Amino acid sequence: MPNRVRSILFLLLLVVCNYQPSSGSTSQTSLETVHSELQPATFNLLQASLEAEANHSSDQIQQLIRSLETKIEQLDRQLPENWGRLSTEHQIRTMFHLMHDNILTGTYIESCSFVSVAINLGDFNCVSATVIFQTIADRYNLPVMPVQTLGHVWSRSLSDTSLEIETTCPNWFQLSQAQREMAPSSLAGSEARLLTQQALVGKIYYNRATDRLRDKQYAAAVALLHTALNWDSADAAASGNLLASLNNWALDYAKKGQYKLANQKLDEVQKLSPQYQPLGRNRLYVRQCEISQLCKQGHFPEAIAVLENQSNASQLHPTQLTENAQTRSAIYDAWIQWLLSSNARTDAAKVLNLAQQTLGQEEPRFIRLKMKYAGLKI
């Protein structure tokens, strides 16, 4: 029986990106143009992020919004008197410190992507911290956008492409240049991808999906990954984990003997990505599981039918053709043993004759069967 394809390693927090390398010479004007074009004025990042958590009523969401607005109003009273004369970079630094001093006062927790937790308890991860900072930046018209690389998001000032802002690091601006250069935002280089605020919301759905995947709640995970892709169609990790979820869901169905459902999930994988590497091997695995169960139940003609129904030779790799021949020979062998155990020698001889017709008289596998059952006349 073919080995089951290796399990897919789910990214537990953020995502592998569909990287869009930067030319390294993007001007302030072009970045601000990107910001204005990608961010509709009517989009409410905070509300969309809270709705993405899917555990609040409308009234509770409005209460959370008011709570954060109250906290932001407290920031107003702490602004320096010369706020309006400060450079954009200085304003961003000031607001960053005020956020950590007054709102994100808890602990960094890797799994804490819910903005409601950041508002109520002050705990955060890179997703929730970046949502909060983006919300504050929008309130004060600071030119900031979220940025993403493998497994991480942060913020970037659009007024200075060299000003990366690690939203989870309260003392970010107190670090030395050498220390900052070791941060993910610096190491990402051209692999960093500017996100729309909608795409940032998608990371909340993605992280919820990974929670479901850990518990093998495949239906919920697949639905959430589809939603994540609706918010950010360029999210390669969501696409990859969607395929992995369907793939592992199929294997789970196969373990339970639900082969029709298993093949339906693999059909979904093929529709999304015909070249998905584990697909062919897992189709063989599901087929072998079904054939094995049928043989144990004595349903050998049905086992042969499963083999033939899923073996279009024009689409099989040579190694798969070999595996098909091995499987067919194994079915005939088990079938003959089954009949001989019931003293049905005449029927067993008929099966051996069928093996000769289908495998070929000179085929080594048939020759081995003929030698094994030399007492049967064909």
The secondary structure of 311-371 as a DSSP string is --GGG--HHHHHHHHHHHHHHHHHHHHHHHHTT-HHHHHHHHHHHHHHH-TT-HHHHHHHH
* Helix/strand/coil percentages in the chain, nearest 5: 65, 5, 35
Model confidence at 42, in pLDDT bands (50, 70, 90)? confident
Q: Please report, rounded to a whole number, the percentage of residues in the chain having pLDDT higher than 90.
A: 75
The mean pLDDT of 339-354, rounded to a whole number, is: 94
CB 224 within 8 A of CB 208: yes
**CA 157 to chain CA centroid, nearest Å:** 29
pLDDT at 2 over 90: no
The mean pLDDT of 38-55, rounded to a whole number, is: 85
What is the DSSP-derived secondary structure letter of residue 124?
B
The mean pLDDT of 311-328, rounded to a whole number, is: 66
Residue 48 corresponds to which tokens in the numbers above?
């969309």
Predicted confidence at residue 33, as pLDDT, reads 44
Closest CA to 199 of 52, 65, 374, 36: 52
Residue 289 corresponds to which tokens in the numbers above?
């599981």
Predicted confidence at residue 377, as pLDDT, reads 84
The mean pLDDT of 121-150, rounded to a whole number, is: 96
Give the C-alpha separation, 326 to 304, whole Å.
12
Predicted confidence at residue 223, as pLDDT, reads 97
- 267-311 pLDDT, tens per residue? 999 999 999 999 988 998 999 999 999 999 999 999 999 998 865
CB 202 within 8 A of CB 235: yes
Predicted confidence at residue 309, as pLDDT, reads 82
CB 8 within 8 A of CB 276: no
